[in-house]
Structure 1
Amino acid sequence: MSGRKQFDISAALDQAMQVFWQRGYADTSLDALGSATGLGRGSLYGAFGNKDALFGQCLDRYASIYGAQHEQALAAHPGDPVRAVEAFFGVVLDRIADPSVPSGCLIAQSAAQSSTLKDENSAQVRGLLDVQRQRVRTALADSSADTRTLDELAVFVVAVNQSLAVLSRAGTPDTELRSVARLACATVADTLTRAAPEDLTRG
């Protein structure tokens, strides 16, 4: 034994993630990270590297937790893209309503602060948004609508998701957030119906 204090790296990463999630990258100090994790600056640097490297690991951690939930929801209703999108928004709204985590979304929070991020972190945020779009687009592929319509709907769903996160940070009530999600799902359903070939819509 070296005598060096041992700590749970995964737990420290989760604690750091919540600080970035609550405060945003720009307003998160090393002192705040140290207070949340119980680690001194030396231990933080030794375990995670600098602030930017730690932030990147927190983004990955966030994406691995909630991205998996999104993927599971979107894949739960094969052949029914509207129900898949409804399930996706259900997961999003449940996270927003969870009192054990900060409001909003770490990715949305970070996207809004892109100008303060290092280039590699900004690119990472864009990449995570693109992964989300690709997951939604895959769920929509069961529709008979044309490719352009499906591509546009995937962007629309991700945009609504990010808007829900921003609205929740502003204190918008859960009932209003769920109303936004319902209208978004209705828009998806209506757009898919209108975009379907005529022979299919006639049954």
Structure 2
Amino acid sequence: MSGRKQFDVDTALDQAMRVFWERGYTDASLDVLGSATGLGRGSLYGTFGGKDALFRQCLDRYASTYGTRYEQALTTHAGDPVRAIEAFFDVVLARIADPSVPAGCLIAQSAAQAPILKGDNSAHVRTLLDTQRRRVRTALTGPSAAPEELADELATFVVAVNQSLAVLSRAGTTDTELRAVARLACQTVADTLRATPEHAACD
């Protein structure tokens, strides 16, 4: 058994992800990470490559876990952009309301700290936000598609609202209030699409 890891790497990664999610990058010290995972500094470095490398792996794990849910919600209603955006926000609000996970969003938390992150991690956070925006942008295509420029703007708007919901939830905003924000965002998307010449011609 000598030289073999005596712990589950995925479990340790989940525990570390929770620390970054709750505390943010700055306050997630190696001591705190070690306490949460049960690993000493040597094991943290040996397994994950240090705090910055561990942080990046946690970002990827978070993005993979929730990104899959977003993707499924958005693609289930292909060709119906308004319903797709509603489904997207349903997933977002379900994550926020889940008592088993920290408040907010790891990516939103990390975006707020981007100026103090090392270059690679700061850029990676931006990449994850861009990935989310591309998913939403794709949902705005199809028979009811908006013009290219407008679809780009709407995708950015939806992602911005998503990040705002995460920040508001960490500040204690109620579920009712958060759902009102999401509902108004969906209504804005619907009204904006309805106002385009393509949709007006079909009315």
Structure 1 match to 2:18: 18
- CA-based RMSD of the aligned residues comes to 1.2
How far has the Cα of 1:200 moved from its partner?
A: 3.4
**Secondary structure at 2:45 match in 1:** helix
Structure 2 match to 1:177: 178
Structure 1 match to 2:91: 91
> Compared with structure 1, are the counterparts of its residues 32 and 199 closer, same or farther at alpha carbon in structure 2 (3 Å cutoff)?
closer
- How far apart, in 2, do the equivalents of 1:3 and 1:128 lie? 35
- How far apart, in 2, do the equivalents of 1:115 and 1:26 lie? 11
**Secondary structure at 2:195 match in 1:** helix
How far has the Cα of 1:196 moved from its partner?
A: 3.9
> Is the aligned partner of 1:136 residue 2:136?
yes
One-letter amino acid of the structure 1 residue matched with residue 77 of structure 2: H
How far has the Cα of 1:144 moved from its partner?
A: 3.4
Structure 2 match to 1:147: 148
Query: Number of matched residues?
Result: 202
> Compared with structure 1, are the counterparts of its residues 104 and 190 closer, same or farther at alpha carbon in structure 2 (3 Å cutoff)?
same
Structure 1 match to 2:28: 28
**Do 1:17 and 1:62's aligned partners in 2 also have CA atoms closer than 8 Å?**
yes
Deviations 1:110-129 (A, max 9, x none): 00001110000000000000
Structure 2 match to 1:127: 127
Structure 2 residue runs of 5 or longer lacking an equivalent are none
Deviations 1:76-100 (A, max 9, x none): 1121110000000000000000011
Normalised by the length of structure 2, the TM-score is 0.97
> Is the aligned partner of 1:110 residue 2:110?
yes
* Structure 1 residue runs of 4 or more that deviate by more than 4 Å after TM superposition: none
**Secondary structure at 2:7 match in 1:** coil
- How far apart, in 2, do the equivalents of 1:198 and 1:131 lie? 28
Normalised by the length of structure 1, the TM-score is 0.97
**Do 2:103 and 2:169's aligned partners in 1 also have CA atoms closer than 8 Å?**
yes
Structure 1 residue runs of 5 or longer lacking an equivalent are none
> Compared with structure 1, are the counterparts of its residues 198 and 24 closer, same or farther at alpha carbon in structure 2 (3 Å cutoff)?
closer
How far has the Cα of 1:101 moved from its partner?
A: 0.5
> Is the aligned partner of 1:162 residue 2:170?
no
> Is the aligned partner of 1:193 residue 2:194?
yes
**Do 2:145 and 2:151's aligned partners in 1 also have CA atoms closer than 8 Å?**
no
- How far apart, in 1, do the equivalents of 2:39 and 2:145 lie? 54
- How far apart, in 1, do the equivalents of 2:3 and 2:107 lie? 38
One-letter amino acid of the structure 2 residue matched with residue 19 of structure 1: V
